[in-house]
Amino acid sequence: MRLASIFRQLVLIGAVGPAVLFAAAPLVSVGVARADITPELPIQLAGYQQRTTEATRVGAPMSVRALAIGSDQEGPVVLVVADVIAVNSALSDAVAAAVRARHPRIGRERVAVCATHQHNGPAIAGTIPFMFSRDLPADVMGRLEKFTVMLREKMITAALAALADRKPARLAWAQGWAGFAVNRRRIVDGKHAGYTDQPGGVVDHALPVLRATDAAGGVRAVLANYACHCTVLKGGENFVHHDWAGDAAQRVEAAHAGAVALVTIGCGADSDPQPRGLAEVATHGKTIAAEVARVTAGAMRPLGRVTAAKFERVAIPLARVVSRAELESRLKEKPNIAYAAAQHLKRLDAGQPLPAAISYPVQAWAFGHEFAMVFLGGEVVADYGLRLKRELGVERVWVNAYANDVPCYIPSTRILAEGGYEAEAAMDYYGLPTRLASDVEERIVRAVHGVLPAGFAVQR
């Protein structure tokens, strides 16, 4: 029986999450905010290469939401979640710098910026640089750059508004479950053989939920996490939409007047939602919202303030040096490969070296020694979340991906051995000439242990 199935049974019988009555949570300062980031039209959407024209319609609005936890004396933390495909270091660092300018005690380690990775919003300037395998016209790029500036300002505004909104609240969390994420990697004889649904493949169906309630018991904030691509909508659906994560957030907010609901994406870069299509956005949104309602109606584990926060950037080298001759040979390959090779050759011709490594962000917030929230950059595959839960305790750790920067896919040791899209083919879109080094998983897991408080891993 796979870990995901075992976990579901533990949830259902009450061995994990709701089942035990816990002491009341201490009062903690909590603030929330929300801002609209729906773009002006027309706009070039990200996510699918085949979109050759700009979107001219909004199917559902896009939002940025923020959650602040902790008083000024304790040192607050701020989470910002945007309905966008990706963020980069420039965006997340700008948000952190603006927050620190107003609140000097809030260092970089206390601000986390996440993307829902929905594929029906604008391309973000400075992210996934070779996504379209062509140069976009100047006017199209101008509109994307204008949106990116607006996005940055709205993220900053939301972060500061959440800090200004802080009031006494009680925090609690519990684990739920949702089953619509399906592994998408077909493996034959140990090697990647296609991109299609693989029921029974490696996947993480856990749905952790954090809730903040006011003194009267009213819900002020909900944070939920699920490890699945935000790709219910496909490439042919060329209109602005927030996909399942945004739909779920709206449904949770509708159930709790005045509350703000944030949805982050876990380690699900090798998982797709199934079924897919416009009608299924509401189906999956309802699934998440219903499970949030079930979990929050039961017993939840109380949490206090964040007692420790740490942020590190880890250098992860690429697997090898790619020669000019190899790049020139790639010019004869299919368009995405040829375009990326041409851009790399332009860089060499300008006297600039090719990328040799990525700077990878790893962040953690610890709530005492009982619970920690981890933030990993990039498109992280399921193996990471499952491994960290095994090592640190499924009842003690929550893992967010697409956090602070999305430099590329982050494959595991297993996926590197299997090959395929998440291991290397996707690097052409991310502007990297080859795959990451074979020890990427060990480097990242070691870094996660390093950003947690001393002794956290042995307090099980």
User: CA dihedral defined by 337, 341, 343, 345, rounded to 10 degrees?
Assistant: -170
Residue closest to 63 by CA, chosen among 314, 308, 249:
249
pTM as predicted: 0.94
Chain centroid, CA 375 distance in Å: 8
| Two structure tokens written together for 395 | 């009842």
78 touches 306 (CB < 8 A): no
Q: Is residue 327 part of a domain?
A: no
Query: Helices (DSSP H) in 256-334: which residue ranges?
Result: 278-297, 324-330
For 307-333, the pLDDT digits (tens) are: 999 999 999 999 999 999 999 999 999
Residue closest to 167 by CA, chosen among 65, 33, 296:
33
* Burial of 356 (C-beta count, 10 Å sphere; 0-12/13-18/19+): middle
**Nearest-angstrom CA–CA distance, 288 and 199:** 20
Instruction: Give the pLDDT score at 5.
Output: 44
Domain that holds residue 392: 3-304+362-404
Q: Is residue 328 part of a domain?
A: no
Q: Which residues of the chain have pLDDT under 50?
A: 1-22
**Nearest-angstrom CA–CA distance, 16 and 310:** 27
The DSSP symbol for 90 reads H
The type of residue at 46 is A
Q: Is residue 348 part of a domain?
A: no
Instruction: Give the pLDDT score at 457.
Output: 81
* Burial of 237 (C-beta count, 10 Å sphere; 0-12/13-18/19+): buried
What phi and psi values does residue 314 have, to the nearest 5 degrees? -110, 130
Residue closest to 111 by CA, chosen among 102, 120, 122, 121:
102
Report cis status (omega within 30 of 0) of the bond before 18. Answer: no
Instruction: Give the pLDDT score at 460.
Output: 54
Instruction: Give the pLDDT score at 24.
Output: 72
Q: Is residue 23 part of a domain?
A: yes
How far is residue 141 from each of residues 10, 41, 174, 220, 430, measured CA to CA in Å? 49, 13, 43, 38, 17
**Nearest-angstrom CA–CA distance, 147 and 124:** 8
Q: Is residue 332 part of a domain?
A: no
The DSSP symbol for 421 reads I
Size (the chain), residues: 460
Residue tagged 């042919």 (tokens): 236
Q: Is residue 354 part of a domain?
A: no
**H/E segment holding residue 183:** strand 181-183
How many domains would you assign to the chain? Answer: 1
Q: Is residue 329 part of a domain?
A: no
The DSSP symbol for 223 reads E
Instruction: Give the pLDDT score at 304.
Output: 96
440-451 and 382-392 helices, crossing angle to 10°: 40
Residue tagged 């619970």 (tokens): 371
212 touches 170 (CB < 8 A): yes
Q: Is residue 429 part of a domain?
A: no
